[in-house]
Amino acid sequence: MKKQVVNSKRPVLRGILFPLMLFILFPSPAAAAGDTAIAELFCRKGVEGTLVLSSLKGGQRFVHNEERAKRRFPVASTFKILNTLIALEEKVATGKDHLIRWDGRRHDFPDWNRDQTLESAFRVSCVWYYQELARRIGADTYRRYLGESCYGKLDEPFDATTFWLDGSLQVSAMEQVSFLRKVCLRSLPFSDTTYESLREIMLAEKTQDYALRAKTGWATSATPAVGWYVGYVETSADIWFFALNIDIPDPQELPLRQVLVREVLRSKNIID
């Protein structure tokens, strides 16, 4: 009787090809990161930039321009999220109503030319208010919290009152989302009281269906200038973190930061 030859490679190949077919047919959220609809939106608006959108519970992630999403840019006023946490934890600000008097010096932004609370300064991105907090916080304290938070890259030496403005501290959109996730999960070295105060301060919009907490940024130290919009949306089903940065060759284009994010959130049925 002729001996049957068994091809021992077939089971091995079958073991490789089957998962590969599943991967092709049903890609993971990370593999399906590039999003055509978001890319078309950026194209229609004529905007160069990136957007990262990631869910907490569902494991979904959408990324436009992944290469740029990994690239660091000056943090600008988006640092006010971490800066607020630090100021509250270090007790240099006692709560969202912590008042600092305006010294009378005129600024280009009319909303800065008045007394400010922590909440109002966050909302209008009042530089002088946060610089006063920074003088009380100090460089060594900033170094410690930046390290513990794994937040971007800080170039040394730096000025404790300007490092988030002059380009010394840079962060990527990916890192912004990672940081926001830690803030939401309260896995950073801050107290519950501090986190709760930040939640109230960050609230930009609230409806019956969702709460949007966010911060803008405008990095004029970059060439071209870069506009940021970062934050998260809480719904009954999930929490969605987002980080957008775009080139801003003209200050009149600054509203595009919120416009783009809102249109993307609507396209994913996260907000109405």
Q: Tens of pLDDT along 210-243?
A: 999 999 999 999 999 999 999 999 999 999 999 9
- Whether residue 232 contacts residue 184, with contact meaning beta carbons closer than 8 Å, is answered with yes
Which residue among 55, 77, 172, 178 is the active-site one? 77
Confidence category of residue 143, pLDDT binned at 50, 70, 90: very high
Q: Select the more confidently predicted residue: 218 or 12.
A: 218
Per-residue pLDDT at 34: 62
Q: What domains does the chain contain, in order, with CATH numbers?
A: 31-267 (3.40.710.10)
Is the pLDDT confidence value at 11 over 60? no
d(CA 270, CA 262): 9
Confidence category of residue 267, pLDDT binned at 50, 70, 90: very high
d(CA 232, CA 230): 7
Is the pLDDT confidence value at 164 over 50? yes
Per-residue pLDDT at 168: 98
pLDDT digits (tens, 9 = 90+) for 87-104: 999 999 999 999 999 999
d(CA 247, CA 225): 6
**Mean pLDDT, to the nearest integer, of 28-36?**
53
pLDDT digits (tens, 9 = 90+) for 96-131: 999 999 999 999 999 999 999 999 999 999 999 999
Per-residue pLDDT at 35: 81
Q: How would you list the strands of the sheet with 210-219, edge to edge?
A: 61-64, 49-55, 239-247, 226-235, 210-219, 203-206
77 is catalytic: yes
pTM of the model: 0.87
